[in-house]
Amino acid sequence: MSWPSFCALVLCPPSCDPEWDARSRDRADGSSQGRAKDATRVSTAEAKSTVLVVEDDAVIRHAAVAMVTDAGFAVREATNGNEAIRILDDGLDAGEAICVVVTDIDMPLGIDGIKLAACINRRWPGIGIVITSGKVRPAPGDVPNDGLFIRKPYTEEGLIAAIRSVMP
């Protein structure tokens, strides 16, 4: 497979790792935070984690953003793969740690969710990837090894569980 020139290798900063955040905080204050009891709420260690939602359908994107926000994660949003790559590049430059990308497969402007996932997996291997679709099922090998595919329509519990399962 030939990779586009914008897919150079860049490592994810350690702040993407919720366990790293927890260890740092534990050393600083001597406390230890566990996972929240509510499966849709983030733990203290996850609270600084940012999720990028990439979806061209505004209604679905806003619903997904609301679910992720309600769960306590910080959220960024993009309407296509090109915009997502710009957000990831700009976020890295600004020190923002996007830890998980949730992307639809069928998107306009050339970079669909499968191509976006491949690019993220190559450039930012520390970012978790959740691929979604209500129309298309990914072919074997389309989802990165550490990624996850979930079918639309998804529930809030299903989406948050998927995000947690791929979080570095």
Q: Where are the beta strands (DSSP E) in 105-152?
A: 128-133, 148-151
Rounded Cα distance between 81 and 114, Å, is 10
**Domains of the chain, start order:** 14-28+39-166 (3.40.50.2300)
Report residue 122: phi and psi, to 5°: -80, -45
Tokens of 34: 């566990």
Rounded Cα distance between 64 and 152, Å, is 11
Q: pLDDT in tens for each of the 168 residues of the chain?
A: 333 433 332 333 333 433 333 333 332 333 333 333 344 454 544 446 999 999 999 999 999 999 999 999 999 999 999 999 999 999 866 667 899 999 999 998 889 999 999 999 999 999 999 999 999 999 999 999 999 999 999 999 999 999 999 998
Give this prediction's pTM.
Answer: 0.74
